[in-house]
Amino acid sequence: MSMEKVKNLTHKKPSGYSPQATKDTPVQYVKGVGPARARLLERLGIGTLEEMLFYFPWRYEDRRDLKKISDLRYGNIETTMCEVVSAEVITTPKKRMKIFELTVTDKTGFLKSKWFNQPYLERYFKRGQKVILSGAVKGNPYSMTGAEMENPDFELVGEEDTFIHTSRIVPVYKATEGISPKQIRTLMFSAVNNYLSIIDDYLPEDILKRNGLEPLRRAVKETHFPEEFSDINVLNRASSPAHKRLAFDEFFLLELGLALLKKRETLEKGISFEDKGVLVNRFLKSLPFELTGAQKRTIDRIKDDMLRPLPMNRLVHGDVGCGKTVVALVSMLIAVENGYQACLMAPTEILAEQHFINIHGVVEALGLNAVLLTSGSKGKSLDDISQGSAQIIIGTHALIQEQVKFKNLGLAIIDEQHRFGVVQRADLRSKGPNPDILIMTATPIPRTLALTLYGDLDISIIDELPAGRKPVITKVFFPNQKDRIYSLIKDELAKGRQVYIVYPLIEESEKLDLKSAIEGYEAFRKICPENKIGLVHGKMHRDERETVMAQFKSGNIDILVATTVIEVGIDVPNASLMLIVHAERFGLAQLHQLRGRTGRGAHDSYCLLMAYPPFSEEAKRRLKAMESTGDGFKIAEEDLAIRGPGDFFGTRQSGIPDLKIADIIRDINVLENARKEAFAFIDTGPDFNKYPLLSKTLKKKWMGRLELIRS
Ligand code: ADP
Ligand code: MG
């Protein structure tokens, strides 16, 4: 068949659909799938027919215009359909590398393609086989053919299915071993043509109208096989009207769930604390500083929440060093003086320990009893908690374990929320008679994004650092500047200051890290022989680690060599310099958190970023961002720009529904509209019996986490 004929092929009409198929029909029974392929699709998260229809392409290729070989342009990404002339595996003489070489022709010329280390490809290509190749075109002066592609995408073309895979804008799906993007496309084509009718529009009519949304079936169809919306660039930005509809739905269902959670909490009875103020005032008087305006405002809001008979659900959000611990303590004291217990849950053992060290002295001075609860804790502390002799409990995830029983938990604080989710919050809540919940996070995120992730929470922002804080002077150094670094360190030590030296934690090889931290420790003992040096890392026994940390805090240790275990929560105002080794390997948020350990006292502080070239463009941007700003919000924005939102949030772990199509940044307007609609809808106190499809879809999305909806 000639190229012209392929182009002129009309698209196949949908064949009849199977009336018995439903959303929950296992894909195994979908035409063309069967048990073996069903197992492969399962790996892609496709178990049911509905999941199949909602498995969308990640990009598109415009194959309406397949290029002739003579028209290929060097440097462009081009797609061409040709016939195989020869296919062979060659082995390079020196490195013994296997290269699969394919030569194809379309009568206007020849094109060579190469794949490295994939000799098995040979078996797919027979002489005369029609194939589509898509990739960047290179010139090769040594090749007879002139033009060449390296590792192009390829598809074998049979005469009968060219209308699916060519002569149109084709969707490209993420595939897995054993099933190719092309096979998935074939299955999807059949699914879209046969089963689209199982999808029903569940959004209320007026919401569809107000937002100018495409009907759901058309949106699904067009997202898979675009015909009406055919701008390839718009499609590849996932911004066609079809994509927008799907994005709206994802946001709407997310926000609807959050709105319900929020509403449920306003319906439930919580504890009304009284404002006695005795312990709080004694505590505030004992502080060597005045609270900042932002701290006072936040405490007032928390107090209001605690006095009301509804359960508090507040997020306190503030950059590192803004003084969240004091706010947490005041809240805990309010609970305690009303006869309740208060707990503080931290994401890591070392952070829980640090909080305990920072807090227990203060608490005991007020005549109260604090305990630390981690996974290794023994019966004694469990008894103290269940009998109520411990009023303040600091701990890790261990706090939400079965066997931990509180006598009367009135307030639960979660520190560093980004590592906890909706589900853990609910677990913690179930530990008491509807306790108040306060969440503290130092991950600064733009407000709209906060609304998405924490849409069911009230938010306070501590947007002011304690007076007199100076920006941490931050600079990147290279290995050939070691002497300069050592002299800066020695200068600080000579002034009586203390120093952190941080080594990276590389997940694949914790052993290697440890090795580098230990080597660093040995090296600095030689470099600074007259100073006391300590070492902390995650593999150390808790007692040992606590001893070292306590010695650093009290000033008995001058230099603390550490892995990233010190990332959060450690507070030593006299530590004025931090050296981060292999800074190019750290994420931006992490660098900012680490740096936040300095700049806590009255002295000038320094953060030295030791970077080992060569490193990526992204690493360069991260280091530059660190040098140019100390503002957590700016850092967060840059981080978001570098990493993209998916990676930034990890919504899966936060317990809220996944976003597959929607992108919090790109689709911010869609998000805002969806949020408005969702909250307005819940505000009307809707009877979900009248919206059976919506209610079913919502429940499915949230997987049983929204007990409020009854239908
Ligand atoms: P973060 O918000 O990062 O958890 P911390 O609560 O650890 O911050 O506080 C950082 C440091 O600032 C601590 O040493 C704390 O005692 C101090 N601090 C907190 N509030 C104030 C304030 N209003 N004025 C001066 N120092 C403060
Ligand atoms: Mg903190």
Does the C-beta of 442 come closer than 6 Å to ligand 1?
A: yes
| Atom 19 of ligand 1: nearest residue by CA position | 323
CB of 573 closer than 6 A to ligand 1?
yes
For residues 438, 442, 446 and 449, what is the CA-based torsion angle, rounded to 10 degrees? -50
- Residue with the nearest Cα to atom 4 of ligand 1? 324
What proportion of the chain, given as a percentage, has pLDDT over 70? 87
pLDDT of residue 648: 52
- Enumerate the H helices of 528-644 as residue ranges: 542-554, 588-595, 617-628, 632-643
> Does any ligand 1 atom lie closer than 6 A to the CB of residue 326?
yes
Determine the average pLDDT of the residues in 593-614. Answer: 90
- Is the shortest distance between the CB of 284 and ligand 1 below 6 Å? no
Q: Is the minimum distance from the CB of 355 to ligand 1 under 6 angstroms?
A: no
Does residue 219 form part of some domain?
Answer: no
Q: Indicate if 53 and 118 belong to the same structural domain.
A: no
The reported pLDDT for the residue numbered 428 is 80
* Highest mean pLDDT of the ranges 96-100, 258-262, 356-360, 604-608: 604-608
CA of 115 to the centre of ligand 2 (A): 51
Q: What is the β-pairing status of strands 533-536 and 458-462? A: unpaired
Domain shared by 177 and 318, yes or no: no
Contact indicator for 566, 560 with CB cutoff of 8 Å: yes
Confidence of residue 160 (pLDDT cuts 50, 70, 90): low
Cα 547 to averaged position of ligand 2 atoms, centre (Å) = 20
| pLDDT higher than 90, residue 39 | yes
* pLDDT tens per residue across span 448-507: 666 666 677 888 889 888 887 888 999 999 999 999 999 999 999 999 999 999 988 654
Residue 298 in contact with ligand 1 by CB distance below 6 A: no
How far apart CA 460 and CA 331 sit, in angstroms, is 14
pLDDT band at 508 (very low <50, low <70, confident <90, very high): very low
What CATH number does the domain containing 118 carry?
2.40.50.140
For residue 571 and ligand 1, the question of a CB distance below 6 A is answered with: yes
120 Cβ closer than 6 Å to some ligand 1 atom: no
Structural domain tally of the chain? 4
Three-state SS sequence of 618-654: HHHHHHHHHHHCCCHHHHHHHHHHHHCHHHHHCHHHH
Ligand nearest to the CA of 298: 1
User: Which of 283, 289, 296, 362 has the most ligand 1 atoms within 8 A of CB, as the residue to mutate?
Assistant: 289
Higher model confidence: residue 127 or residue 701?
127
Mean pLDDT, residues 199-218: 96
Q: What pLDDT, on a 0 to 100 scale, did the predictor assign at position 1?
A: 36
Gap between the Cα atoms of 231 and 239, Å rounded? 10
Of ligand 1's listed atoms, the one at least distance from the Cα of 320 is 3
450 falls within a domain: yes
Counting ligands in written order, which one lies closest to the CA of residue 571? 1
Query: Over 80: is that where the pLDDT of 446 sits?
Result: no
Decide which of 417 and 115 is more confident: 115
**Residue 406 pLDDT > 90:** yes
Residues 74, 44 share a domain:
no
Same domain for 162 and 47: no
Mutate to test the pocket of ligand 1, among 298, 326, 331 (most ligand atoms within 8 A of CB): 326
Which own/partner pairs from 418-421 qualify as long-range (CB within 8 Å, at least 24 positions apart)?
A: 418/443, 418/654, 419/347, 419/653, 420/345, 420/347, 420/654, 421/653, 421/654, 421/655, 421/656
Measure the CA–CA gap between 57 and 59, rounded to whole angstroms.
5
pLDDT of 652 higher than 70 = no
Residue 329: what pLDDT?
96
Residue 228 lies in a domain: no
**Does ligand 1 have an atom closer than 6 angstroms to the CB of 257?**
no
Together in a domain, 175 and 162: no
Distance 270 CA to ligand 2 centre (A): 27
Q: Is residue 239 over pLDDT 80?
A: yes
As a three-state string, the secondary structure of 438-479 is: EEEECCCCCHHHHHHHCCCCEEEEECCCCCCCCCCEEEEECH
Which ligand is in closest contact with the Cα of 416?
Answer: 2
Report whether residue 322 contacts ligand 1, using a CB cutoff of 6 Å.
yes
In a shared domain, residues 40 and 72: no
Q: Confirm whether 33 is domain-assigned.
A: yes
Q: Show which of 609, 629, 649 is a domain's final residue.
A: 629
- For the Cβ of 289 lying below 6 angstroms from any atom of ligand 1, the answer is yes
Task: Give the strands of the sheet with 559-562, arranged side by side.
Answer: 473-477, 606-610, 575-581, 498-502, 559-562, 533-536
Predicted local confidence at residue 445, as pLDDT: 67
Please give the residue that has the higher pLDDT: either 65 or 30: 30
Domain end marker among 433, 462, 491: 462
For position 12, what pLDDT does the model report? 42
How large is the average pLDDT for residues 694-708? Answer: 78
Q: Candidates 287, 470, 600, 603: which one to mutate for ligand 1, based on the most atoms within 8 Å of Cβ?
A: 600
What integer best gives the mean pLDDT of the chain? 86
Residue 319 lies in a domain: yes
Segments in 216-292 forming alpha helices (H): 216-224, 232-236, 241-267, 278-286
For ligand 1, the distance from its centroid to the CA atom of residue 137, given in whole angstroms, is 58
Instruction: Compute, in angstroms, the gap from residue 346 CA to the centroid of ligand 2.
Output: 10
> Higher model confidence: residue 5 or residue 656?
656
51 contact partners, CB below 8 Å, separation of at least 6: 27, 45
Indicate if 123 and 159 belong to the same structural domain: yes
Ligand nearest to the CA of 344: 2
Q: Tell me the C-alpha distance between 79 and 72, whole Å.
A: 9
| Cβ–ligand 1 contact at 287 (below 6 Å) | no
- Read off the pLDDT of residues 115-140 as tens digits, 9 standing for 90 and up: 988 888 898 899 999 998 888 898 77
With beta carbons less than 8 A apart as the criterion, state whether 432 and 290 touch: no
Q: Are 506 and 618 members of one domain?
A: yes
* CA–CA separation, 284 and 237 (whole Å): 53
> Where in the sequence is the domain holding 21, given as residue range(s)?
1-60+171-199
17-26, 214-223, 336-345, 394-403: segment of lowest average pLDDT: 17-26
**Is residue 690 in a domain?**
no
Q: Is the pLDDT of residue 672 over 60?
A: yes
Residue 688 lies in a domain: no
Q: Which atom of ligand 1 is nearest to the CA of 326?
A: 6
56-115: per-residue pLDDT in tens?
Answer: 999 998 888 788 998 888 888 888 999 999 999 999 888 888 999 999 999 888 999 999
Pocket of ligand 1 contains residue 323 by CB under 6 Å: yes
Query: Do both 309 and 455 map to the same domain?
Result: yes
Query: Which residue is closest in CA terms to ligand 1's atom 14?
Result: 571
Q: Is 639 part of a structural domain of the chain?
A: no
Q: Look at residue 511 in the predicted model and tell me its pLDDT.
A: 54
- For residue 15, pLDDT over 70 is answered with no
- Of 574, 600, 629, the last residue of a domain is 629
The pLDDT of residue 8: 35
